[in-house]
């Protein structure tokens, strides 16, 4: 959910997320996410009645700047394995299973626990602080 740092203007991390995104654009990388992330990002603005923030988030997620990944049926097995064998929380397992099933090369997270997880189909799970980007 590194998008949250960006849209919520997190003092320390929003600048780093902007740097990562700029590097991705220079290389021609594709920024991927899912409707599950959009769901979570809209909770705060909806709760506070911030229509402008919700609109900004929705416009970004429905723009050419990001590819929204589907949740294909073969992601279900990946999700179950992550939950059963590695004890990953449901929402984290959902994000990882979506990425793995869609062939995402790199998964970015600020969650130290997830950085240690091995997910078949995802080449790298990296910290947003890494020099990977």
Residue 133 domain-assigned? no
Residues 44, 7 contacting (CB under 8 angstroms)? no
Q: Say what the pTM is.
A: 0.83
Q: How confident is the model at residue 55 (pLDDT cuts 50, 70, 90)?
A: very high
- pLDDT tens string 19-46: 877 877 888 888 888 998 899 899 999 9
Residue 132 domain-assigned? no
- Structural domain count, the chain: 1
Residues 114, 5 contacting (CB under 8 angstroms)? no
> Per mean pLDDT, which range of 10-24, 35-49, 95-109 is the poorest?
10-24
Residue 115 DSSP class? G
Which residues fall within 8 angstroms of residue 57, CB to CB, at 6 or more apart?
7, 38, 41, 42, 45
Instruction: Kindly report the CATH number assigned to the domain that includes residue 87.
Output: 3.40.50.1010
Determine the straight-line distance between the first and last CA of the chain, rounded to whole angstroms: 17
The better pLDDT of the pair 7, 71 is held by 71
Average pLDDT over residues 49-54: 95
């Amino acid at each position: 959910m590194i998008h949250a740092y960006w849209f919520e203007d997190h003092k320390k991390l929003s600048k780093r997320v902007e740097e990562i995104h700029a590097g991705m654009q220079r290389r021609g990388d594709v920024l991927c996410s899912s409707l599950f992330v959009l769901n979570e990002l809209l909770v705060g603005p909806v709760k506070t009645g911030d229509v402008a923030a919700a609109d900004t988030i929705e416009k970004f997620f429905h723009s050419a700047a990001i590819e929204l990944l589907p949740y294909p049926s073969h992601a279900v097995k990946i999700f179950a394995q992550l939950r059963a064998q590695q004890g990953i929380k449901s929402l984290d397992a959902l994000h990882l299973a979506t990425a793995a099933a869609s062939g995402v090369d790199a998964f970015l997270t600020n969650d130290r626990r997830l950085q240690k997880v091995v997910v078949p189909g995802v080449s790298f799970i990296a910290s947003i602080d890494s020099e990977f980007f």
